[in-house]
Amino acid sequence: MIPTITAFAQSPDRGRGLARDMAVRWALEEVGQPYEVRLLSFAALKEPAHRALQPFGQIPTYEEAALTLFESAAIVLRVAEQHPGLLPHSTDARAQAIAWMFAAKSTVEPPIVERSMALLLEADRPWHAERLTMLDERVRTRLDDLSRWLAYRDWLEEAFSAADVVMVTVLRRLGGSGFLEEQPTIASYVARGETRPAFKRAFEAQRAVFAAAEA
Protein backbone atom coordinates (compact mmCIF):
# COMPACT_ATOMS: atom_id res chain seq x y z
CA MET A 1 0.00 0.00 0.00
CA ILE A 2 1.53 3.27 -1.11
CA PRO A 3 0.75 6.02 1.41
CA THR A 4 -0.28 9.52 0.36
CA ILE A 5 0.94 12.64 2.13
CA THR A 6 -0.10 16.25 1.66
CA ALA A 7 2.17 19.22 1.04
CA PHE A 8 1.89 22.85 -0.05
CA ALA A 9 1.30 23.35 -3.79
CA GLN A 10 3.24 26.61 -3.37
CA SER A 11 5.35 26.50 -0.26
CA PRO A 12 6.19 29.87 1.29
CA ASP A 13 9.68 28.49 2.00
CA ARG A 14 10.41 28.67 -1.76
CA GLY A 15 11.84 25.14 -1.95
CA ARG A 16 14.10 25.35 1.10
CA GLY A 17 12.51 22.27 2.66
CA LEU A 18 11.36 24.06 5.81
CA ALA A 19 7.70 23.07 5.72
CA ARG A 20 6.73 20.12 7.85
CA ASP A 21 6.17 17.66 5.05
CA MET A 22 9.99 17.53 4.85
CA ALA A 23 10.36 15.32 7.96
CA VAL A 24 7.73 12.93 6.64
CA ARG A 25 9.32 12.75 3.19
CA TRP A 26 12.73 12.17 4.80
CA ALA A 27 11.47 9.35 7.05
CA LEU A 28 9.77 7.64 4.08
CA GLU A 29 12.97 7.95 2.04
CA GLU A 30 15.06 6.53 4.91
CA VAL A 31 12.99 3.34 5.01
CA GLY A 32 12.62 3.07 1.22
CA GLN A 33 8.84 3.43 1.26
CA PRO A 34 7.50 5.02 -1.96
CA TYR A 35 4.77 7.60 -1.39
CA GLU A 36 2.40 9.84 -3.28
CA VAL A 37 1.91 13.52 -2.62
CA ARG A 38 -1.32 15.47 -2.88
CA LEU A 39 -0.50 19.14 -3.29
CA LEU A 40 -2.89 21.63 -1.71
CA SER A 41 -3.49 25.32 -2.13
CA PHE A 42 -3.90 27.49 0.99
CA ALA A 43 -7.65 27.64 0.24
CA ALA A 44 -7.90 23.84 -0.02
CA LEU A 45 -6.24 23.46 3.40
CA LYS A 46 -9.24 25.11 5.02
CA GLU A 47 -11.88 23.10 3.12
CA PRO A 48 -13.94 20.54 5.07
CA ALA A 49 -12.44 17.68 3.04
CA HIS A 50 -8.96 18.49 4.29
CA ARG A 51 -10.06 19.41 7.81
CA ALA A 52 -11.53 15.91 8.07
CA LEU A 53 -7.92 14.70 7.87
CA GLN A 54 -6.25 17.63 9.64
CA PRO A 55 -8.57 19.47 12.06
CA PHE A 56 -6.33 22.58 12.04
CA GLY A 57 -6.28 22.90 8.25
CA GLN A 58 -2.54 22.31 7.88
CA ILE A 59 -0.08 20.09 6.06
CA PRO A 60 1.22 17.41 6.32
CA THR A 61 -1.25 14.55 6.53
CA TYR A 62 -0.71 10.86 5.90
CA GLU A 63 -3.14 8.31 4.47
CA GLU A 64 -2.37 4.61 4.46
CA ALA A 65 -5.29 2.24 3.77
CA ALA A 66 -7.91 3.01 6.45
CA LEU A 67 -5.50 5.04 8.60
CA THR A 68 -5.26 8.81 8.39
CA LEU A 69 -2.81 10.77 10.53
CA PHE A 70 -1.78 14.35 11.08
CA GLU A 71 1.13 15.91 13.06
CA SER A 72 4.45 15.41 11.33
CA ALA A 73 6.20 13.73 14.27
CA ALA A 74 3.30 11.29 14.76
CA ILE A 75 3.57 10.41 11.07
CA VAL A 76 7.35 9.94 11.33
CA LEU A 77 6.75 7.67 14.34
CA ARG A 78 4.19 5.61 12.38
CA VAL A 79 6.66 5.21 9.50
CA ALA A 80 9.41 4.24 11.96
CA GLU A 81 7.17 1.69 13.66
CA GLN A 82 6.10 0.10 10.37
CA HIS A 83 9.59 -0.29 8.89
CA PRO A 84 12.97 -1.31 10.24
CA GLY A 85 15.76 1.24 10.43
CA LEU A 86 14.44 4.30 12.24
CA LEU A 87 13.98 3.03 15.79
CA PRO A 88 16.17 0.79 17.97
CA HIS A 89 15.05 -2.81 18.62
CA SER A 90 15.21 -2.68 22.41
CA THR A 91 12.04 -1.25 23.95
CA ASP A 92 14.03 0.91 26.38
CA ALA A 93 16.14 2.40 23.59
CA ARG A 94 12.99 2.97 21.51
CA ALA A 95 11.42 4.86 24.41
CA GLN A 96 14.51 7.07 24.60
CA ALA A 97 14.42 7.82 20.87
CA ILE A 98 10.72 8.65 21.11
CA ALA A 99 11.44 10.95 24.07
CA TRP A 100 13.82 12.87 21.80
CA MET A 101 11.06 13.20 19.19
CA PHE A 102 8.91 14.83 21.87
CA ALA A 103 11.84 17.01 22.95
CA ALA A 104 12.34 18.22 19.38
CA LYS A 105 8.69 19.18 19.00
CA SER A 106 7.81 20.40 22.47
CA THR A 107 11.09 21.75 23.92
CA VAL A 108 13.27 22.84 20.99
CA GLU A 109 10.78 23.83 18.30
CA PRO A 110 8.52 26.27 20.23
CA PRO A 111 11.14 28.99 20.87
CA ILE A 112 12.44 28.67 17.29
CA VAL A 113 8.96 29.06 15.82
CA GLU A 114 8.01 31.86 18.22
CA ARG A 115 11.10 33.79 17.19
CA SER A 116 10.45 33.35 13.47
CA MET A 117 6.80 34.40 13.95
CA ALA A 118 7.92 37.51 15.85
CA LEU A 119 10.21 38.44 12.96
CA LEU A 120 7.47 37.81 10.43
CA LEU A 121 4.51 39.42 12.17
CA GLU A 122 5.74 41.86 14.82
CA ALA A 123 8.75 43.64 13.30
CA ASP A 124 6.87 46.95 13.16
CA ARG A 125 5.83 46.95 16.84
CA PRO A 126 7.55 49.40 19.19
CA TRP A 127 8.52 46.60 21.59
CA HIS A 128 9.88 44.32 18.87
CA ALA A 129 13.61 44.79 19.58
CA GLU A 130 13.22 44.10 23.29
CA ARG A 131 11.06 41.03 22.67
CA LEU A 132 13.45 39.72 20.03
CA THR A 133 16.35 39.91 22.50
CA MET A 134 14.33 37.78 24.91
CA LEU A 135 13.33 35.28 22.20
CA ASP A 136 16.95 35.06 20.97
CA GLU A 137 18.01 34.19 24.51
CA ARG A 138 15.42 31.42 24.74
CA VAL A 139 16.61 29.89 21.46
CA ARG A 140 20.25 30.20 22.55
CA THR A 141 19.53 28.43 25.86
CA ARG A 142 17.98 25.45 24.08
CA LEU A 143 20.83 25.29 21.58
CA ASP A 144 23.48 25.49 24.31
CA ASP A 145 21.85 22.58 26.15
CA LEU A 146 21.45 20.51 23.00
CA SER A 147 25.02 21.27 22.01
CA ARG A 148 26.28 19.87 25.31
CA TRP A 149 24.32 16.66 24.67
CA LEU A 150 25.67 16.32 21.13
CA ALA A 151 29.26 17.22 22.00
CA TYR A 152 30.40 13.57 22.03
CA ARG A 153 27.69 12.04 19.84
CA ASP A 154 26.93 11.94 16.14
CA TRP A 155 23.20 11.43 16.77
CA LEU A 156 20.80 11.98 19.66
CA GLU A 157 21.06 8.34 20.73
CA GLU A 158 23.41 5.47 19.79
CA ALA A 159 22.46 5.40 16.13
CA PHE A 160 20.62 7.63 13.67
CA SER A 161 16.87 7.39 14.35
CA ALA A 162 13.48 8.97 13.77
CA ALA A 163 14.43 11.39 16.55
CA ASP A 164 17.19 12.83 14.38
CA VAL A 165 14.77 13.20 11.45
CA VAL A 166 12.52 15.33 13.62
CA MET A 167 15.28 17.26 15.43
CA VAL A 168 17.28 18.11 12.31
CA THR A 169 14.18 19.34 10.49
CA VAL A 170 13.30 21.52 13.50
CA LEU A 171 16.82 22.99 13.65
CA ARG A 172 16.88 23.71 9.90
CA ARG A 173 14.33 26.46 10.57
CA LEU A 174 17.30 28.40 12.02
CA GLY A 175 19.11 28.53 8.67
CA GLY A 176 20.01 32.10 7.80
CA SER A 177 19.43 33.36 11.36
CA GLY A 178 23.09 33.22 12.44
CA PHE A 179 22.39 30.83 15.32
CA LEU A 180 23.88 27.79 13.61
CA GLU A 181 27.08 29.73 12.89
CA GLU A 182 27.34 30.40 16.65
CA GLN A 183 26.90 26.68 17.43
CA PRO A 184 29.45 24.54 15.58
CA THR A 185 28.36 21.27 17.24
CA ILE A 186 24.76 21.79 16.21
CA ALA A 187 25.74 23.02 12.76
CA SER A 188 27.76 19.81 12.23
CA TYR A 189 24.84 17.72 13.46
CA VAL A 190 22.44 19.39 11.02
CA ALA A 191 24.99 18.99 8.21
CA ARG A 192 25.35 15.27 9.05
CA GLY A 193 21.61 14.89 8.63
CA GLU A 194 21.54 16.87 5.40
CA THR A 195 24.32 14.69 3.96
CA ARG A 196 22.25 11.51 4.19
CA PRO A 197 21.11 10.28 0.77
CA ALA A 198 17.51 9.95 2.01
CA PHE A 199 17.51 13.58 3.14
CA LYS A 200 18.80 14.65 -0.27
CA ARG A 201 16.09 12.68 -2.10
CA ALA A 202 13.39 14.19 0.12
CA PHE A 203 14.82 17.67 -0.33
CA GLU A 204 14.95 17.33 -4.11
CA ALA A 205 11.37 16.02 -4.21
CA GLN A 206 9.99 19.04 -2.36
CA ARG A 207 12.19 21.43 -4.34
CA ALA A 208 10.83 19.98 -7.59
CA VAL A 209 7.33 20.98 -6.44
CA PHE A 210 8.47 24.56 -5.95
CA ALA A 211 10.33 24.62 -9.28
CA ALA A 212 7.28 23.30 -11.14
CA ALA A 213 5.03 25.91 -9.50
CA GLU A 214 7.45 28.69 -10.52
CA ALA A 215 7.81 27.50 -14.14
Residues making contact with ligand GTB (CB under 6 A): 12-13, 18-20, 45, 57-60, 71-72
Q: Which is nearer to ligand GTB, 60 or 189 (CB)?
A: 60
Cα gap 7→209, rounded to integer Å? 9
Contacts of residue 21, defined as CB under 8 A and 6 or more positions apart, other chains included, come to 5, 6, 7, 8, 37, 59, 60, 72, 206
| Smaller CB separation from ligand GTB, 20 or 115 | 20
CB of 211 to ligand GTB, least distance (A): 16
Which one-letter amino acid corresponds to residue 14?
Answer: R
- Interatomic CA distance for residues 64 and 24, integer angstroms: 13
Q: How many other C-beta atoms are found inside a 10 Å radius of the C-beta of residue 179?
A: 20
Shortest distance (Å) from residue 184 CB to ligand GTB: 24
Q: Which amino acid is at 76?
A: V
Q: Helix, strand or coil for residue 83? A: coil
- Among 153, 21, 18, residue whose Cα is nearest residue 97: 153
Nearer to ligand GTB, 51 or 148 (CB): 51
CA distance 9 to 210: 8
Cα separation, 155 vs 157, in Å, equals: 5
Q: How far is the CB of 207 from ligand GTB (least distance, A)?
A: 13
Which C-beta is closer to ligand GTB: that of 45 or that of 213? 45
CB of 89 to ligand GTB, least distance (A): 27
Q: Which residue is nearest to ligand GTB (CB)?
A: 58
Distance in Å, CB of 111 to ligand GTB, minimum = 15
Q: Which residue, 45 or 159, has its beta carbon nearer to ligand GTB?
A: 45
Neighbour count for residue 119 (Cβ, 10 Å)? 13
* DSSP state, residue 67: E
Q: Which is nearer to ligand GTB, 72 or 183 (CB)?
A: 72
